[in-house]
Amino acid sequence: MEGYKRYAIYYAPEPGPLADFGAAWLGWDAEAGTTRAHLRLQGLPRRLSDLTETPRKYGFHGTLKPPFRLIEGSDITLLHRSAAALAAQLRPVLLDGFVLSRLGGFLALTPRGDAPALNALAGSVVEALDGFRAAPADEEIARRDPDRLSARQRKLLQRWGYPYVMEEFRFHMTLTGPLSESDAEATRAVLAPILAPMIDRPHRIASLCLFGEAEDGRFHNLHRYTLSG
């Protein structure tokens, strides 16, 4: 687990059809730490490798605690132990399923209906493990373009190092980079029938994962913790 630039707490689907789809769609299997051959699909507006270039390095996931550098004086062993202890206190979350959504120009899977239990879970993870997070550097803050954020988002960025946490949090599992409206609709038309059998059903979030960012920028799933509270 040592030697990674940044760490994050993500939800990654447990091994199965949805996880397999995500790895083959993005071309990166964070669980195995290997590249994957892209799905061979007809009807996409551009090459799949182009559509997924932006999210590929992160692996198929939903963010709970965004990537952070370890604070000086801490280490990955302590973070691992704390994440395990936290997961033992948190209960699994049952969702009604997912929907294929367009968020800010990209396509992602989002929870079907309201998800207050999932939002609360994410907030607990952000808060409980925040002592391990080093303050973001000035250039990291600048990349968030604070002038374009709301006043509340700027406060969250200052407090938690990320503007889209707590009440601004919206769980999503990213599938593409930014797309034009026409490209998004064409991609959605191809994806919808493939995803339907996997997302049009209840989905149980029963674990959280510790991810690490390697020197090449690729994220790896380092450990999966069962939610057993």
Amino acid identity of 87? A
Partners of 107 in beta bridges: 102
pLDDT in tens, 94-126: 999 999 999 989 999 999 999 999 999 999 999
Residue 184: CB atoms within 10 Å: 18
Model confidence at 1: pLDDT above 90: no
Model confidence at 139: pLDDT above 90: no
Model confidence at 65: pLDDT above 90: yes
| CB-CB contact of 152 with 109 (8 Å) | no
| Structure-block tokens of residue 86 | 């936290």
- The class of domain 6-226 in CATH terms is alpha beta
Domain boundary assignment for the chain = 6-226
pLDDT at residue 143 in the model: 85
3-state SS assignment for residue 137: coil
H-type alpha helices, the chain: 17-26, 48-51, 53-56, 76-89, 116-128, 138-143, 151-160, 181-199
pLDDT at residue 187 in the model: 98
Rounded-to-integer distance, Cα 98 and Cα 203, Å? 8
pLDDT at residue 198 in the model: 97
Give the mean pLDDT of the chain. 96
pLDDT in tens, 162-209: 999 999 999 999 999 999 999 999 999 999 999 999 999 999 999 999
Model confidence at 219: pLDDT above 90: yes
| CB-CB contact of 217 with 6 (8 Å) | no
Whether pTM > 0.85 for this model: the answer is yes
